Structure 1
Amino acid sequence: SAASAAAAGASLPCAPKRMKVVVKWTCTKCKRSCIPVRDESRCLCGHRLREHHCQTPPNHTSSGAHDGSLPGPRLPCSRCPCKHFFFIVSEGAWILRCSCKHRHIEHDPVTHACNKPGCGCTRFFSPFVCNCDHPWSDHVQTTHWEEVRTVAQMLAAAEDFQSAAREVNDYSGLMRGGDLNQTPINVNRGNQLPR
């Protein structure tokens, strides 16, 4: 019965899926996700990702496909007028600066224009070059919904990976010449190896 399946921990096909927001900072040139964006990552407004609360997940059709109503979740900040998380690269005490030489928190969180008097900067832009050797301007931030995986799902995926890794790392199929079922031969001396 459905109740016993639920009690046993099996997920029902009609059970709602738990979703989380995932933010990625990706290079458009080399197509890799360069810097992991985590809950402690900073926004242009000065607040952390964890302080930006996502709106409701998008509607999904019965097939699980997105219905197109929302291109990506908006992440407005709960502590300031910032309407969407804008990832700022930082490492330890070092934090990305704009080409106008002012810090990210000296820029308006909505328009991204510099707030310093006399500065003509109309939008945050950085001359920063990433570890992938491409400039900051070649990177895009993407925000999407992802299903939250349970520990059991992660362990099952890890077991599948380990079995595939065992197959990949099985070097017996790479031995040169002869029948693999015969006695192994020492290639250096041409002598048979003891079994």
Structure 2
Amino acid sequence: MERLTLQPGAAAAIDEYLEYRRIVGEDDGGKLFTPEEYEQYKKRVLPIRLQNRLYVSWRSPTGMDCKLVGPETPCFCTHRYKQHKTDFEVIPKERPISVPCKVSRCLCRSFNFVPLNGTQPIRCRCKHFADQHSPAPGFPCETCSKCSGFHSCFTCGCGQPTYAHETVVETKEERLAQGKPVGQDVPYAAMGGLTGFSSLAEGYMRLDDSGIGAPSAEFLNAPVTSTDHLFLRAFEGPSSSIGAQSQLTDGGASTAMQVSRLRRPEEDDMAYFERQYQARLKQEKAAKQKGKGPASLKN
């Protein structure tokens, strides 16, 4: 096994280069800035970037951000988000906000996310792949003449088809007005909608909307309401209305059954469901004995 050794200070130099690349991106044209040029660049760009950051996401019709776009996220034109215009001295007033591609001779007028089927591009209804369509407005097919524009029925993990989604470019204020998280202000280029490590995951797999990380203890310990997920309501126990109705019909037996349904803090899943099963058998046995009582008196 070959072992790599670095000279003293080399690791720090690598970290500085990575920091430089995250801030500058491809604005240096492939030639590294001098220290003076780098400082001038930061003085000019960083205030604009911190104040006028654009958040880009691929949103389902239900309002879920199924994909939060980052620097390396590919566009329909096959170029990455960092190769598009992402820094604006003044945010345009027109909506939707256009984020055009900066690659020479590219016809892409604004970043448009298109999902992948594993590692392969998805197909249009004309049976041709997405990369066989032009990035020009309308996305016409370059292989056939019958296609009026790219239209894919490929289903996202959220259950909605691709054509029902839209690429959304919005400001920090617009996201806050919708109650969507914005994360922390960072000086890096083309961050798009990324606000944390887990925001790289698809929307239905994310632990939270922002991708910042696990929810707070206050959120986790909040009481379960009728709007929460079915599983949370099941472990919370029966509602008061159900309990009151069963109490009227079954009397004390239903009260005992209701108490037995409450999960104990030290119980695991198997013990909890086993105790519920045994309580139900006991209740059914008591009901049978109660039904035999009047018959035996008549005899």
TM-score (norm 2): 0.40
Higher relative contact order, chain-length normalized (CA < 8 Å, sep 6+) = 1
User: In the alignment, which residue of structure 2 is the partner of 1:63?
Assistant: none
Shift of 1:54: 2.9
Other-structure match for 1:73: 97
* Contact in 2 for aligned 1:100/1:119 (Cα 8 Å): no
Deviations 1:88-144 (A, max 9, x none): 10265122221212222221111310111x431121110111112122222122111
What is aligned with 1:120?
A: 146
The reply to whether residue 149 of structure 1 matches residue 184 of structure 2 is yes
- Judge conservation of contact 1:127–1:136 (CA < 8 Å) in 2: yes
Q: Deviations over 1:6-30 (max 9, x none)?
A: xxxxxxxxx87522221111111x3
The runs of 5 or more residues in structure 2 that have no matched partner are 1-46, 173-181, 187-194, 196-211, 224-235, 237-258, 261-299
Distance 2:83 2:75 in 1: 10
Aligned position for 1:32: 64
Tell me the matched-pair count. Answer: 141
TM-score by length of 1: 0.59
| 3-state DSSP of counterpart to 1:34 | strand
Q: Is the 8 A contact 2:52 2:87 kept in 1?
A: no
Structure 1 residue 108 corresponds to structure 2 residue 134: yes
Query: What stretches of structure 1 move > 3 A for 4+ residues in a row?
Result: 165-169
Q: Higher strand proportion, which one?
A: 1
Identity among equivalent pairs (%) = 25
Question: Max radius of gyration: which structure?
Answer: 2
Partner of 1:56: 88
Note the C-alpha offset of 1:163.
Answer: 6.2
Counterpart CA distance in 1 for 2:152 and 2:53 is: 29
Secondary structure of residue in 1 paired with 2:171: strand
Contact 1:58 1:70 in 2 (8 A): no
Structure showing the higher helix proportion among its residues = 2
Structure 1 unaligned blocks of 5 or more: 1-14, 60-67, 175-186, 189-195
